[in-house]
Amino acid sequence: MLFKGSGVALVTPFEDNENVNFSKLEELIKMHIDKSDAIIVCGTTGEASTLSIEEKKEIIKFSVKVADKKIPIIAGTGSNNTKEAIEMTKYAKKAGADGALIVTPYYNKCNQEGLYKHYALIAKSVKDFPIILYNVPSRTSVNIEIDTIIKLSKIKNIVGLKEANQDLIRIAQIRYKTDNDFSIYSGNDDLLLPILAVGGDGVISVVANILPNEVHNICYNFFDGNFDKAKDDYFKLLEISKKLFNDVNPIMIKESMNLLGYNVGKLRLPLYNTSKKNIADITYTLKELNLLK
């Protein structure tokens, strides 16, 4: 298992000129070493789709160095080009990352056999390197069917699934039909507790960018049998979990972090600032949680 609990889907901080702000990135990584259970870089929340291949490589290498094996670094290495995904995953392994999070190929809209062959070839090309499948059909228009996930889970170094899907029955079926050492992580903060309840192993979390202790504690209170405490804390975070998706991720989490003084910089186009109404809503929620005075 790559990690159990809360893996933070880390934002990529930018300077005013839109270059990656590595000093701020170092600050964020060091903050999470004692608060989260893993750090995911170059994912959706990290604006991977607007980063060049060289920028992704720099971020992965830098993050591994800063983390210094004190917390797992999982690199987003997915692509809709299988050769590019292999290149990036090989690089992540060489750079010392602990594993890779690989999103389904987007735009191509491949069939299930294409999905299987895509992931199987990556796994074969980067042996002994843990891979987490990332299923997010709302963004990619591609859904890994349950039978395909079961088949992929039999490949030794495909060790888990990040499931960003509202269908809890589907997730329960995946848990039932895969081995216990195949990890299932919620890809949606608002489904964290329900997914833990059907046998999930944690979450790859957007909210953890600003509430890392709280997300970690929900997971571990549940694992330790403190179900009422886990439930109460989950309900407290439900409202902010919803508000952070009032606009396309990672727009709202970056807006929130800047309101809270993290100074992670602007978004890269085509992502852009949210509406005044959304800013007012998230400001109100942050104040309700006593995060913003």
pLDDT one-digit tens code per residue, 105-151: 998 889 999 999 999 999 999 989 999 999 998 888 899 999 999 99
Active site residues: 134, 162
pLDDT digits over 160-194, tens only?
999 998 889 999 999 999 999 999 999 999 999 99
Is residue 271 included in any domain, yes or no? no
Asked if residue 280 belongs to a domain, the reply is no
Interval 242-261: pLDDT, tens: 999 999 999 999 999 999 99
Question: Alpha-carbon Rg of the chain, whole angstroms?
Answer: 18
Q: How confident is the model at residue 241 (pLDDT cuts 50, 70, 90)?
A: very high
Q: Would you say the pTM of this structure is higher than 0.75?
A: yes
pLDDT of residue 116: 97
190 domain residue, yes or no: yes
pLDDT for residue 276 is more than 80? yes
For residue 250, being part of any structural domain is answered with no
Residue 266 in this model has a pLDDT that exceeds 90 = yes
pLDDT band at 34 (very low <50, low <70, confident <90, very high): very high
**Residues 190-213 pLDDT 10s:** 999 999 999 999 999 999 999 999
Residue 265 resides in a domain: no
Give 18's pLDDT tier (boundaries 50, 70, 90): very high
In the chain, the number of structural domains is 1
* DSSP annotation string for the chain: ---SEEEEE----B-TTSSB-HHHHHHHHHHHHTT-SEEEESSTTTTGGGS-HHHHHHHHHHHHHHHTTSS-EEEE---SSHHHHHHHHHHHHHHT-SEEEEEPPPSS---HHHHHHHHHHHHHHSTT--EEEEE-HHHHS----HHHHHHHHTSTTEEEEEE--S-HHHHHHHHHHS-TTSEEEES-GGGHHHHHHTT--EEEESGGGT-HHHHHHHHHHHHTT-HHHHHHHHHHHHHHHHHTTSSSTTHHHHHHHHHTT-----PPTTS----HHHHHHHHHHHHHTTS--
**Domain containing residue 63: CATH number:** 3.20.20.70
* Residue 282 within a domain: no
State residue 2's pLDDT score: 86
What digits encode the pLDDT tens for the residues 57-114?
999 999 999 999 999 999 999 999 999 999 999 999 999 999 999 999 998 889 999 9
Residue range(s) defining the domain that contains residue 118: 5-244
- Whether 293 shows a pLDDT value over 80: the answer reads no
Q: Taking 80 as the threshold, does the pLDDT of residue 8 lie above it? A: yes
pLDDT at 108: 87
Q: Is residue 258 part of a domain?
A: no
Give CA–CA dist 19/253, Å, rounded: 19
What was the pLDDT predicted at 165?
Answer: 86
In a domain, 212, yes or no: yes
